[in-house]
């Protein structure tokens, strides 16, 4: 069986989780979700100064959920545990004891944007694009990432992006605060990007992260994420969703 998630702990004392399913544009299936959660648990045990989430493919970060596992024929009872599994991954990233840094060298859509939003810091190559496109499929973000978006950016922008379902450029999203830093493709150097974070101790990072989570009131946030997963599950079996998915498959 292929491993779709790889994990490493570096000599500079930080952890790296890499999405490694390039043939499917890192679309997340259930095996990948389980591997992801296990990698987060290992990273927490290793007590690195921070956790990096990235892709092995420079052209894509994550295309969302794999339609073979997250397909439109599932009913409410069947889809809910599938969606909830990735909600637990996002939850684990939000509550991770040290900062999580998402390195976006490629595009992300749907659930891929939810995954990036669950990280504390997003650093993107300036030629990348991102889309909270779930509304175009007749559903909501299914992993709790819509709720998280409202916490990461100004509420009216989050509402507009979720409603419109647009694909937006990295420079535009930098202005909106979703991306923290843009870097030109020819200047992208992972070591240089991460060096400023390496100077901090594990103890410093845990305090900084606990302050941040206190600010966003995570306990109430978790309940809202659960409700978003439930609401998405209800919409999953709608004709609107089925037709939208079929149009994509036909293309």
Structure confidence at residue 29 (pLDDT): 95
Question: Which of 251, 32, 25, 231 is CA-nearest to residue 135?
Answer: 231
How far, CA to CA in Å, does 200 sit from each of 41, 94, 181, 189? 22, 20, 19, 20
The predicted model gives 206-227 an average pLDDT of 91
Other C-beta atoms lying within 10 Å of the C-beta of residue 209: 19
Domains of the chain as residue ranges with CATH? 5-198 (3.90.226.10)
Q: In what order do the strands lie in the sheet with 15-19?
A: 5-9, 15-19, 51-55, 100-104, 121-125, 181-183
Question: Is-contact 178 114, C-beta < 8 A?
Answer: no
Return phi, psi of residue 173, to 5°: -70, -25
Whole-prediction pTM value? 0.96
Structure confidence at residue 75 (pLDDT): 84
Separation between Cα atoms, residue 10 and residue 25, nearest integer Å: 26
Which tokens belong to 251?
Answer: 């293309």
Over the stretch 12-58, which tens digit does the pLDDT of each residue have?
999 999 999 999 999 999 999 999 999 999 999 999 999 999 999 99
Average confidence score pLDDT of the chain = 95
For residue 15, the 8-state DSSP code is: E
Structure confidence at residue 129 (pLDDT): 98
Structure confidence at residue 1 (pLDDT): 57
Over the stretch 123-163, which tens digit does the pLDDT of each residue have?
999 999 999 999 999 999 999 999 999 999 999 999 999 99
Structure confidence at residue 242 (pLDDT): 85
The predicted model gives 55-70 an average pLDDT of 92
């Amino acid at each position: 069986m292929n491993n779709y998630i790889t994990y490493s702990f570096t000599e500079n004392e930080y952890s790296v989780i890499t999405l490694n399913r390039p043939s499917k544009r890192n679309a997340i299936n259930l095996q990948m979700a389980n591997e992801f959660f296990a990698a987060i648990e290992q990273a927490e045990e290793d007590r690195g100064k921070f956790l990096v989430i990235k892709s092995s493919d420079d052209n894509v970060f994550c295309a969302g959920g794999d339609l073979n596992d997250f397909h439109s024929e599932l009913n409410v009872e069947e889809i809910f545990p599938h969606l909830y599994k990735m909600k637990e991954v996002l939850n684990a990233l939000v509550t991770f004891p040290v900062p999580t840094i998402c390195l976006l060298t490629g595009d992300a859509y749907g659930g891929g944007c939810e995954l990036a939003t669950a990280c504390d810091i997003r650093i993107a190559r300036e030629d990348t694009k991102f889309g909270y496109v779930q509304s175009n499929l007749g559903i909501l973000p299914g992993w709790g990432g819509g709720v998280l978006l409202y916490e990461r950016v100004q509420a009216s922008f989050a509402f507009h992006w979720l409603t419109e379902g647009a694909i937006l450029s990295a420079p535009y999203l930098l202005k909106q605060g979703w991306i923290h830093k843009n870097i030109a493709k020819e200047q992208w150097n992972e070591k240089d990007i991460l060096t400023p974070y390496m100077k901090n101790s594990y103890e410093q990072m845990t305090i900084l992260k606990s302050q941040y989570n206190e600010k966003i009131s995570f306990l109430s946030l978790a309940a809202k994420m659960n409700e978003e997963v439930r609401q998405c599950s209800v919409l999953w079996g709608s004709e609107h969703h089925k037709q939208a998915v079929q149009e994509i498959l036909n293309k």
